[in-house]
Amino acid sequence: MPTNAEHASAGRSPSPVESTNSASLISRGISLVCNGAAAGALAVLAFGWLWPVDLESTGEARLILDSAAFFIRTLALQIAIGLVPVAILVAVLRRWRAALVVAALSLGAAWPTVRTWLPETPPRVGEASLRVLSVNLLAWNATPELLANAIAKSPADVILLQEYSYDWHRRLGAKLGGQFPNIAAEPREGCFGTAIYSRRPFSQPVDSGLPIGETGNPQQRAVVHFGGREVALYNIHLLPPLGRSYIRPGRREAVDLAKLLASEPLPAAVAGDFNFTNSCAQAERLFSLGFRDSLDEGARGPQWSWPAIGAASGFPGIRLDHVYINRELRCTSAEVLESGGSDHRPVLAELRWAAD
């Protein structure tokens, strides 16, 4: 039987001291969790940015660590956004120093992306322009007619297409052939066909068998005139980082592309679905050759191109689609367009020759 003391203890409310201790324990526990999350995020981000990625290494351990750094850099903005509620929660708990650390960490993670949204000094350019449109069609697009109509209404001079299937070849060939009479098409079953549609004649035979990687997927190079000069246009679709079977050959493709561009004798625009962002080592290879992303130069604000469909499309995404240009070209305007049912958004860039 319970004693009188036990009955009294069960019926009473916790004392102020006990309530204060419980609240303090909960506050300290939450604070420890938040501090642990911040420390973990700091370690992850530091690894992502400081790890020396070697795209040409074939070692298994190196591949795992390089891939981890790749995904950290790719998702740096999303990590930064995830740290915002942590900073707010720590501030509510009046852990001011920890809140400042988490806020600074969030800003630091976001900065590589956010800085590309800031306005730049307009470049000095010539009068002639070339409008380039790069579109990943999505081979199994559920609304192909919507995207086909949008492409047909485009002001582009040259259209570079990825995931160009036989169905897309039949659909776009009939719709665009009159406006874009110069066509180099390499349709494929699945996701790796490519095509170039141009209002301007090709001044050299289009090469659809560029030595990029070992998959045999068509990667294209065309040459057109504008403003009295020739420009090389590359239509590129690199492998996505979906498992080891794609990551390893995808790294090889990025290395081969950089080597090919290093020997390119003409001014060049390199467009397509690269499946990497400008924060990654693959892009750094191109930047070291003097290339720039036309969206960084000719657009303002967020310009992410993927994902464009599905539940995640309503959240900040990443830019996998680019029109890279080298030193002799300038971009006066660029934008990411509506997807038309593809999982990628097209990129339209107006290019001009750099003024002397």
pLDDT score at 40: 83
User: Residue 118 CB: number of other CB atoms within 10 A?
Assistant: 9
| C-alpha span between 147 and 338 (Å, rounded) | 9
118 has a pLDDT exceeding 60: yes
Of the pLDDT bands very low, low, confident and very high (cuts 50, 70, 90), residue 143 is: very high
Q: Give me the domain span that covers residue 220.
A: 120-354
Of the pLDDT bands very low, low, confident and very high (cuts 50, 70, 90), residue 18 is: low
Q: How many domains does the chain have?
A: 2
Of the pLDDT bands very low, low, confident and very high (cuts 50, 70, 90), residue 129 is: very high
| C-alpha span between 119 and 267 (Å, rounded) | 25
2 has a pLDDT exceeding 80: no
pLDDT score at 99: 84
308 and 219 in a common domain: yes
147 and 195 in a common domain: yes
In this prediction the pTM is 0.90
Rg, the chain, Cα only: 26
Mean pLDDT calculated for residue range 61-83: 94
150 has a pLDDT exceeding 70: yes
131 and 212 in a common domain: yes
206 and 72 in a common domain: no
Strand, helix or coil at 49?
helix
pLDDT score at 7: 52
Mean pLDDT calculated for residue range 186-198: 96
107 and 137 in a common domain: no
Mean pLDDT calculated for residue range 218-239: 97
DSSP per residue over 277-312, as a string? -TTSHHHHHHHHTT-EEHHHHH--S----B--SSGG
Tell me the pLDDT tens digit for each residue of 329-341.
Answer: 999 999 999 999 9
98 and 146 in a common domain: no
pLDDT score at 102: 86
CB 302 within 8 A of CB 136: no
pLDDT score at 38: 75
What does DSSP assign to residue 209? B
